[in-house]
Chains A and B, each alone.
Chain A
Amino acid sequence: MPHMQPPEISAEAAVAAHIKGGLWRKLRGNWAVMIGGTVLALLALIAVAAPWLGTVDPTLFDPASRDLLPGASGEITDLDGETIAHKFLMGSDGFGRDIYSRVIYGTRVSLIVGAAVALVALVFGVSCGLAAGYIRWLDGIMMRIMDGVMAIPGILIAIALVALWRASLATVIIAIAIPEIPRVTRLVRSLVLSIREEPYVEAAVSLGTRTLKIMFGHILPNTMAPLIVQGTYICASAILVEAILSFLGVGLPTDIPTWGNIMAEGRVQFNDFPHNVFFPGVFLALTVLAINMLGDGLRDTLDPRMSKRI
């Protein structure tokens, strides 16, 4: 009887489809998710398409085009020594570099740092949290160390580590991620402690399933919703911290166009040419705002229990 499906399977599929469709509909119905997501997608598009958006190489400069106001026309010398005419949509800085190109390329750095920090913090935080929540003797030591890390203001850890290691993309990412790890660890640990008491975990244990398989196969999938929400917040805060590090002069090397670096260089002549600080500042604020809105929206739809807390 090939045309007759066993009823229980179709019911299961229907339930799965209903949950999936319901979640997607809920996400689409949440305006914070839609606005934040759209702006973030646009920014990602800008980052990918940076070379084709009327930009020039962001490191190019031309002494004749120094300190131009936004919209002014000037010229810029490319690497072959050829001088081309260029319209400076956002003006130029004290070296004659195009702010627009630098801001557009800066999008790449910020998004990469944000995503990478979230990933690193989640991977380490989840590992530590699973270990602390599941391996009892490790719990005490691990959580005391995490308490210690949390007692040091995060920005200070990041500043000190970057300064000690000499800044590069990798060290900046790790330095910003380290102070974020304890919060993820705490979250995962508390989730594990409550999930491990669930009947299905007990069932798996009594069936003789290996600890690692229980941790990653049974417990981890049930911590996903709060972790995704936490990840978006870490991403937003990482982008801010990276800009702060660059702005203070301890972040990524100045030849990399980051929003913080552009602002740090523009700071010196802020009184006369505020556009050097404003344009990257607007992009930075907009990006962080979009990610925070996305996070709030995701929290409300994926994890309603959490949204009640704040």
Chain B
Amino acid sequence: MFNFLARRLAATLPVLLIVAVLVFLMLRLTPGDPAVIIAGDAANPEQVAQIRAGLGLDRSIVVQFGIWLGNLLTGNLGESYFFKMSVTELIAHRIEPTLALSLCTIVLSVLVSVPLGVLAAWRQGGWLDRALMGFSVLGFSIPVFVLGYILIYIVSLKLGWLPVQGYVRMADGLWPFLRHLILPSITLSVIYIALIARVTRAAVTETLAEDYIRTARAKGLPEARVVIHHALANAAVPIVTVIGIGIALLIGGVVVTETVYAIPGLGRLTVDAVLARDFPTVQGVILFFSFVYVLINLLVDLSYLFFDPRIRY
């Protein structure tokens, strides 16, 4: 098992390094001189050159990458051009809303989609199954922001049940905090529910056809125990895998949802930084999101050991 951990970690490091190279190149090899942007319109060429030297932009690209990577390893993502603070600090400052929204969404999605998927597989071809499959195609198709506005219109504007937009920190009261998260989490979880429910249904359908299910039924186990203990437990690996892969979808959704609901999180920060052409922040946030995505999928891989003891590496 220790061997497996070491090997998985060793396989993750090159991916992280390639992500770092790609993100670095993406922002450095594009037209537009960061020094000119920082200096502003009123600057003369000397000032621009000075800023360029100060940022190390006058050195060769390999040296620049080396310095940048060195900083990265010590947790230094550079200084934001626009917000005038270190990017690491900026991310730490904005992470709470995004974390809260993501966790609520994942919990809500799993609680809704796994039971639905199991029920659909259990009564395949029944009305719930058809409804769920229809809903999942719909869930993949309806844009997050359109859904967000529909929900705001009905729940907040017409019924007046929940706040329209905004975010309240957890420190300022648990109930206001949760109230502001309900609509964004529902909005964001629809596509996630569609995805997980589909995979759960497919995986449980497959295990339900196994011989040991017939055996379990034949020896008179209650149906609920057969479906949950035997079928669902053996379908766990694909379900956990899709939850991990779906994190990419979730991150994309966070960017949009935070804009719709005016939540000051990392997603909103990404858009603001892009609009301000604040390259270090864009770079930092993309790296942060990608690293989180890779690490979550590493955890998913490790969870196979728990969910499927047959897997030995």
Contacts and interface: CB of A to CB of B under 8 A. Distances in A.
Interface of A: 144-145, 147-149, 151-157, 159-161, 163-165, 236, 240, 243-244, 247-250, 263, 267, 270-271, 274, 277-278, 281-282, 284-285, 288-289, 292-293, 296, 309-310
Contacts of B304: none
Contacts of B137: 289, 292-293, 296
Contact of A281 (B143, B199, B251): B143
Binding site of B, secondary structure by majority: helix, strand, loop or mixed? Answer: helix
A30 to B, nearest CB: 14
B4 interface: no
Contact of A152 (B14, B19, B202): B19
Interface of B: 14-16, 18-19, 21-23, 26-27, 30-32, 137-138, 140-146, 149-150, 152-153, 157, 164, 198-199, 202, 248, 251-252, 255-256, 259, 270-271, 274-275, 277, 282, 285-286, 289-290, 293-294
B120 to A, nearest CB: 13
A310 to B, nearest CB: 5
Nearest to A236: B141
25 contacts: A144-B14, A145-B18, A147-B18, A148-B15, A151-B16, A151-B19, A151-B294, A153-B289, A154-B248, A154-B252, A155-B251, A156-B290, A160-B282, A164-B27, A164-B32, A165-B30, A244-B143, A248-B256, A248-B271, A263-B146, A277-B146, A281-B143, A281-B145, A309-B202, A310-B202
A292 B141 contact: yes
A289 B141 CA distance: 5
A281 B137 CA distance: 17
A160 B145 CA distance: 20
A277 B202 contact: no
A247 B19 CA distance: 27
B271 A153 contact: no
Given A144-B14, A289-B141, A249 B198 contact: no
Contacts of A144: 14-15, 18
Contact of A163 (B140, B146, B275): B275
Contacts of A159: 255, 270-271, 274
A156 B290 CA distance: 9
Contacts of A244: 143-145, 252, 256
Given A148-B21, A152-B289, A270-B149, 18 more contacts: A145-B18, A147-B18, A148-B15, A153-B251, A153-B252, A154-B252, A156-B251, A164-B31, A165-B31, A243-B143, A248-B256, A249-B271, A250-B274, A274-B157, A285-B141, A292-B140, A292-B141, A310-B202
B26 A161 contact: yes
Contacts of A153: 248, 251-252, 289-290, 293
Nearest to B286: A156
A248 B22 contact: no
B149 A277 contact: yes
Nearest to A285: B142
B275 A249 contact: yes
Nearest to B274: A163
A240 B249 CA distance: 13
A129 B246 CA distance: 24
A286 to B, nearest CB: 8
Contacts of A281: 143, 145-146, 149-150
Contacts of B152: 270
**Interface pairs A-B: 4 shortest CB-CB:** A148-B18, A281-B146, A155-B252, A289-B141
B145 A263 contact: yes
A108 B271 CA distance: 26
Contacts of B145: 244, 247, 263, 281
Contacts of A282: 146
A144 B199 CA distance: 27
